[in-house]
């Protein structure tokens, strides 16, 4: 009640400052108060507060529906995000498996390459040994052939110098007899 009294005093204080009676049409403050009261009565008669309330209610319903829609969209976005995160995790796991498989295949390929290289080296060493052995045998044969040729030539010279024609004929006949004896 005190607040109402203070409010009325504050409102009426300019009216008390005016000259003459307050409730007179010559008092501008009284005319303003009457105009204001008529304006409020007109607003009440035209049901403007109800219209404003209805508009506010419609606006509140619109905001509520927007909030519900935003909430639904947020939930849908979270569902989609979770789906993409799950897919990303699956793709990452698949990529990890592919990398592990590639590493395993690379290790197997490296092992096979090492084994093939060892086999190739062994084959080349064996071929080189065979070539060396063949070259040695060829060199030994060549040396023997040369030695035989030199020995035959030396023996010819020696025999030619010491052997007479009669001795040569006797040797030929003895060789023919030996051959004939061995063939029969």
Q: Mean pLDDT across the chain, nearest whole number?
A: 86
Q: How confident is the model at residue 8 (pLDDT cuts 50, 70, 90)?
A: low
Q: Which pLDDT value is given to residue 159?
A: 74
> Please, is 15 exposed, middle or buried when counting C-beta atoms within 10 Å of its C-beta (0-12, 13-18, 19+)?
middle
pLDDT tens sequence across 144-179: 888 888 878 877 777 777 777 777 788 788 888 888
Predicted model pTM: 0.39
**In whole angstroms, how far apart are CA 61 and each of 25, 64, 105?**
46, 5, 65
Residue range 31-47: mean pLDDT, rounded: 92
Q: What is the pLDDT of residues 125-142, one digit of tens each?
A: 999 999 999 989 888 888
Q: Percent of the chain scored above 90 by pLDDT?
A: 52
Domain locations in the chain? 145-183
Percent of the chain scored above 70 by pLDDT? 89
| Higher pLDDT among residues 61 and 155, named by residue | 61
Tokens 């093939």 label which residue?
116
Model confidence pLDDT, tens digit, residues 88-128: 999 999 999 999 999 999 999 999 999 999 999 999 999 99
pLDDT of residue 181: 84
């Amino acid at each position: 009640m005190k607040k109402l009294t203070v409010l009325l005093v504050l409102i009426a204080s300019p009216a008390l400052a005016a000259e003459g009676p307050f409730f007179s049409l010559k008092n501008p403050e009284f005319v303003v108060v009457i105009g204001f009261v008529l304006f409020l009565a007109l607003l009440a008669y035209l049901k403007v507060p109800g219209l404003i309330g209805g508009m506010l209610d419609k606006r509140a319903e619109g905001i509520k529906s927007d909030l519900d829609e935003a909430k639904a969209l947020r939930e849908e976005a979270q569902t989609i995000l979770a789906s993409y995160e799950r897919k990303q995790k699956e793709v990452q796991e698949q990529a990890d498996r592919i990398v592990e498989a590639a590493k395993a295949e690379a290790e197997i390929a490296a092992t096979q390459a090492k084994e093939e290289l060892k086999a190739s080296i062994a084959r080349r060493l064996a071929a080189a040994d065979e070539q060396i052995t063949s070259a040695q045998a060829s060199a030994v044969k060549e040396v023997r052939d040369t030695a035989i040729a030199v020995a035959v030539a030396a023996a010819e010279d020696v025999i030619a110098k010491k052997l007479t024609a009669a001795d040569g004929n006797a040797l030929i006949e003895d060789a023919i007899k030996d051959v004939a004896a061995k063939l029969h």
